[in-house]
Amino acid sequence: MGEKMIGERMLEALNKQINEELYSSYLYLSMSAWFESIGLKGFANWMNIQAKEEIDHAMKFYDYIISRGGKVHLSEIKEPPHEWQSPLHAFEETLKHEQHITKCINDLVEIAEEEKDRATFNLLQWFIDEQIEEEANDEEIINKLRMIGESGNGIFMLDRELATRVYTPLKEEK
């Protein structure tokens, strides 16, 4: 067998990132279930779509590893929390989690730079842009929730707005 196209250090880090993305999906699916349980179907919809997008992100890494001749190694996904104090708390936790994912992506970029792995570096640019968008979306909803405060009408209106979010699968880039 010839030399692997992807270095061991990078491969290990990318496999760890698959787990991070799958945990993200678990976390958002758990939030979706919690929002359903408190009657906020729009919030539940938003989180359910977020969970699907995280699976797409995991699969983007999965497909990349395979395309580079690497071996995918799936590890145990930790259990997410099951409830939050309020919709605001759930979104604050979402933002905190996305900031963690941004750090993970930045750490991958550092490894790619150190290993002079141009192909992986190129892949990661998409994720950098995605993380900017993820954090901005969370901050926008947090700001709305802070403005609304305890207003039932405000929560109801935001719930209707979040119900309009539609899942768009990632397009295959060849």
Q: Which domains does the chain have, with CATH numbers?
A: 8-77+87-162 (1.20.1260.10)
Q: Tell me the per-residue pLDDT of 20-59, one tens digit each, with 9 for 90 and over.
A: 999 999 999 999 999 999 999 999 999 999 999 999 999 9
Angstrom distance (rounded) from CA 21 to CA 19: 5
3-state secondary structure 21-51: HHHHHHHHHHHHHHHHHCCCHHHHHHHHHHH
pLDDT digits (tens, 9 = 90+) for 92-131: 999 999 999 999 999 999 999 999 999 999 999 999 999 9
**pTM of model > 0.85:** yes
CA distances from 139 to 98, 101, 120, 142 (A): 11, 15, 29, 5
Four-CA torsion 85, 87, 88, 93, nearest 10 degrees: 70
